[in-house]
Amino acid sequence: MKNKGRIISFFLIVITLGIVIGMFGKSTAEDINLGLDLQGGFEVLYEVEPVDEEQEVNRKLLESTVETLNDRVNRLGISEAVIDIEGENRIRVQLAGVENQTEARELLATSARLSFRNSDDVELLDGTDIKEGSAKQDFNGTTGEPIVTLQLKSASQFGEVTSELAKNYNPNVTDFLPLAERENVLVIWMDYQEGDSFVEEAQKEEPKFVSAPGVKETLNTTNVEISGTFTVDSAQRLADIINSGSLPVHMNEIYSTSVGAQFGEQALNETVLAAFVGIGIIFIFMMVVYRFPGIISVINLSVYIFLVLLFFKLMNGVLTLPGIAALILGVGMAVDANVITFERIKEELREGKSLIASFKAGTKNSLRAIVDANITTLLAAAVLFMFGTSSVKGFATMLILSIVVSFLTAVFGTRWLLQLWIKAKFLKNNPAWFGVKKDDIKDISDKSEVEPKFIKWNPNVVDNRKKFFIVTSTLVIIGALSLIIFKLNPGIDFTSGARIQVASETTLTAEQVADDFEALGLEPKSIVLSGDNNENAVARFDKEIQDKKITELTSYFEEKYGMTPSASVVSSIVGEELVKNALYALALASIGMIIYVAIRFEFFFAITTIIALLHDVFITLAVFSIARIEFDVTIVAAILTIIGYSINATIVTFDRIRENIQRKKKAVKTFSELAKIVNESIVQTMTRTVNTSITTLIAVFSFLILGAQPITGFAIALAVGLIAGTYSSLFLATQLWLVWRGKNIKEKPVDFRKKKRVEGPQV
């Protein structure tokens, strides 16, 4: 009766979870804020400079600037703007889902320091003389042309200004002079800068000043009209800018990226499809390989995905392409915890233990490896969060959240649900439900050791270590030669310049796109076509493109092809910082892992782990060098993820080596005995390592084959890194540790029977 109650409880829990996920899952996913790479929009990083020598750029001034920018963004009707202060003098603005990027860009970039000057450029009035919020878009009563009206604070002050200007008016002469020679004009400037000249600008077709009305008489009024070559939209935009107030600083654009709405929608659809396919295949794999426990894991993986999305929404996070990748990679982490547990339960069953005893021993023995593996991956994610830029930081946030939630659902959720079934008779009498054949179970009275196998095969990895060293050395030499001769193919993130992606509904050619840029006065360094029918073209420029030119080319390609292009512009300052931060991130992640592994295991383990990590990173860089794949900032995120996954696999193997040594009644004093333990541990963890890598690679290949083009390099880096990490954790790190530790084993025997080592280097 008690067991029936457990089973009923299981179904009630699963049904409740299904109802909750069914009711709120879709709405939760739809309510998450999407990044600009998934819905279009743009991101700009500004470097703040003082307007004069006396001004000091401090936190208060930056906060005041952000407040003004927020007011301007609100006037655009954008509710999900992200405006952050970075460092001592930078402000990052992210506007996702903006329909008119040109308008938004102008609204942000304009400092809006309105001034009224005479023909000699002497300031007569400024923005402080205008009533707050008084600017409006209107129409000229005579011509019907769009104008901007505003109100001054003092009619008498305006009367004095216009009275002085009216003295320069001669009806017989002034009206016949060119505009540049008239002295009765009230020149209205927006963002006048030292060196600007009315006389020079008046001779141009498109002068920098807004308008220059002539004053013929004294005007004792507070009402002012600004006329010019306005459209209704541009007049309204000017009114909005005036009402939002002037920025207290100069803002120089040092990095920008924009994504057309069509690109964003396409990226979202492709990535969601890749996610569904990847997760679906993982679910099938788990149920086929692990039978009943696999079904339990699928339930918990579904809960994991729902909880991650829910918490991310509650955190008001912004989901990007790399963020979705982190979510799916978190599935790999959750699968890993389940695989470790299930494999340990299967080992105990093969030893002849009962299902209940196997469940208790398996869950207990697997917990330590799971904790160590998750903490080391969290270290990599934390470093990524500290040094990453916006999209990379979003990836790190999602990865951290995924690791925490996957640990809770995989460790506690899976065990809790499995425990409700563990006393069921059909499970107790059918070990095949756990993937164990009866022929593989030894008699409990048999005290001989069960020989570990990997798919009915007991490989002697240790005896072949020289072959692995030769293979590794060969790969390293080839990679080193490629990096020396060909180097990496850095994207604009690490150099500087611009990247423009043009889209069309019809086939494009490189010559056609080159002609388009030539018409705009631009010469791309390279043009690469992509898409099933070459409907996309990516143009690289080794020089920065100014924001006005970006606005011009955006309008040009929108009009010609009907689709908004995507553009990224990076200054050399930002490129140098990204390189520096990437190196810092890798160094800090390595140091943190050395310290943790040394404390949890021993110093020899820590060093060989880092060597294996460097091997995985190096192989990934070598592949990018040989294949000439563009190396951008998202690849840094991929590399740090590789570090986390690689050390995850290595830690599990080392943990088994430590556990097997602890089972010995005395310290290991001979190389042959240590080699036997290492080989046994490798074979015991091989199934876990391979299965975890397969499930993670399923997700990665889904992104690679079905995912959006911007994430292709990211997926390639993960795929290469995961394969290299699987190889290094099984065949490199363990062999290095064996050779290194085995050299002085007679003087310093290996003994993990205590929490701290009895002999050998201490940390």
If one counts every other C-beta atom within 10 angstroms of the C-beta of residue 355, the result is 22
Joined tokens for residue 47:
């470097």
User: Among the listed ranges 64-68, 158-162, 255-259, 570-574, which one has the minimum average pLDDT value?
Assistant: 570-574
Q: Indicate if the alpha-carbon torsion angle 491, 494, 498, 504 is positive or negative.
A: positive
Across 66-70, 393-397, 612-616, which has the greatest mean pLDDT?
612-616
Q: Indicate if the alpha-carbon torsion angle 414, 415, 416, 417 is positive or negative.
A: positive
CA–CA gap between residue 614 and residue 387 (Å, rounded): 19
- Neighbouring residues of 703: CB distance < 8 A, sequence distance ≥ 6: 271, 274, 278, 325, 328, 711, 714, 715
Express each pLDDT in 182-240 by its tens digit.
Answer: 888 888 887 787 788 999 988 888 888 888 888 888 888 888 877 767 788 778 877 87
CA–CA gap between residue 260 and residue 248 (Å, rounded): 31
| Mean pLDDT along residues 413-432 | 80
pLDDT of 553 > 70? The answer is yes
Q: Who has greater pLDDT, 228 or 469? A: 469
pLDDT of 87 > 80? The answer is no
Joined tokens for residue 119:
């023909």
- pLDDT of 632: 77
- pLDDT of 761: 34
Give the angle 539-541-546 at the CA atoms, nearest 5°. 110
- pLDDT of 555: 84
pLDDT of 762 > 70? The answer is no
| Mean pLDDT along residues 545-561 | 83
SS (H, E, C) 530-583: ECCCCCEEEEEECCCCCHHHHHHHHHHHHHHHCCCCEEEEECHHHHHHHHHHHH
CA–CA gap between residue 737 and residue 678 (Å, rounded): 9
Joined tokens for residue 361:
């021993």
CA–CA gap between residue 749 and residue 477 (Å, rounded): 35
Pairing of the two strands 187-190 and 114-117 = antiparallel
CA–CA gap between residue 607 and residue 763 (Å, rounded): 12
- pLDDT of 479: 92
Torsion angle defined by CA atoms of residues 577, 580, 582 and 587, in that order, rounded to the nearest 10 degrees:
-150
The dihedrals phi and psi of 111, each to the nearest 5 degrees, come to -70, -25
- pLDDT of 390: 58
If one counts every other C-beta atom within 10 angstroms of the C-beta of residue 178, the result is 8
Nearest to 347 by CA among 333, 368, 370, 363: 363
Nearest to 376 by CA among 603, 692, 635, 597: 597
Nearest to 265 by CA among 444, 35, 485: 35
If one counts every other C-beta atom within 10 angstroms of the C-beta of residue 79, the result is 9
- Neighbouring residues of 505: CB distance < 8 A, sequence distance ≥ 6: 535, 561, 562, 563
pLDDT of 763 > 60? The answer is no
Packing angle between helix 603-627 and helix 572-600, nearest 10 degrees?
150
CA–CA gap between residue 583 and residue 122 (Å, rounded): 51
Nearest to 401 by CA among 302, 312, 317, 324: 312
pLDDT of 480 > 80? The answer is yes
- Neighbouring residues of 517: CB distance < 8 A, sequence distance ≥ 6: 500, 523, 524, 539, 553
CA–CA gap between residue 518 and residue 411 (Å, rounded): 59
- pLDDT of 756: 44
Express each pLDDT in 578-610 by its tens digit.
Answer: 677 777 777 777 787 778 777 877 788 888 888
Joined tokens for residue 349:
């069953």
- pLDDT of 79: 54
- pLDDT of 448: 59
Express each pLDDT in 730-750 by its tens digit.
Answer: 889 889 988 888 887 877 777
Query: CA of 304: how far to CAs of 34, 295, 333, 604, in Å?
Result: 20, 14, 11, 36
Mean pLDDT, the chain, integer: 81
User: Among the listed ranges 394-408, 584-598, 710-724, which one has the minimum average pLDDT value?
Assistant: 584-598
The owner of tokens 């890798």 is 586
Contact 692, 721 (CB under 8 A): no
Q: Who has greater pLDDT, 235 or 724? A: 724
| DSSP symbol at 318 | E
Confidence of residue 755 (pLDDT cuts 50, 70, 90): very low
User: Among the listed ranges 44-53, 68-77, 348-357, 488-497, which one has the minimum average pLDDT value?
Assistant: 68-77
Cβ-in-10-Å burial (0-12, 13-18, 19+) of 252 comes to: middle
Rg of the Cα atoms in the chain: 33
CA–CA gap between residue 757 and residue 20 (Å, rounded): 49
Express each pLDDT in 312-332 by its tens digit.
Answer: 888 877 777 777 767 766 777
CA–CA gap between residue 645 and residue 118 (Å, rounded): 67
pLDDT of 262 > 70? The answer is no
CA–CA gap between residue 322 and residue 596 (Å, rounded): 27
Nearest to 316 by CA among 403, 397, 437, 255: 397
Element of type H or E holding 239: helix 232-244
pLDDT of 137 > 60? The answer is yes
CA–CA gap between residue 111 and residue 108 (Å, rounded): 8
Contact 627, 422 (CB under 8 A): no
CA–CA gap between residue 718 and residue 646 (Å, rounded): 11
Q: Which residues pair with 539 in a beta bridge?
A: 500, 527
Q: Who has greater pLDDT, 180 or 593? A: 180
pLDDT of 132 > 90? The answer is no
- Neighbouring residues of 19: CB distance < 8 A, sequence distance ≥ 6: none
- pLDDT of 623: 92
pLDDT of 352 > 80? The answer is no
Q: Who has greater pLDDT, 754 or 179? A: 179
Express each pLDDT in 520-548 by its tens digit.
Answer: 888 888 888 877 777 888 888 888 887 77
Distance of CA 198 to the CA centre of its chain: 47
Joined tokens for residue 459:
């490989």
The owner of tokens 């990934």 is 620
| Mean pLDDT along residues 611-619 | 89
If one counts every other C-beta atom within 10 angstroms of the C-beta of residue 281, the result is 16
The dihedrals phi and psi of 445, each to the nearest 5 degrees, come to -80, -15
pLDDT of 25 > 70? The answer is yes
Nearest to 76 by CA among 282, 216, 240, 301: 240
| Mean pLDDT along residues 710-725 | 86
If one counts every other C-beta atom within 10 angstroms of the C-beta of residue 451, the result is 8
CA–CA gap between residue 95 and residue 104 (Å, rounded): 9
Sketch out the chain's domains with CATH numbers: 36-109+248-259 (3.30.70.3400), 114-244 (3.30.1360.200), 261-437+452-486+575-742 (1.20.1640.10), 497-570 (3.30.70.330)
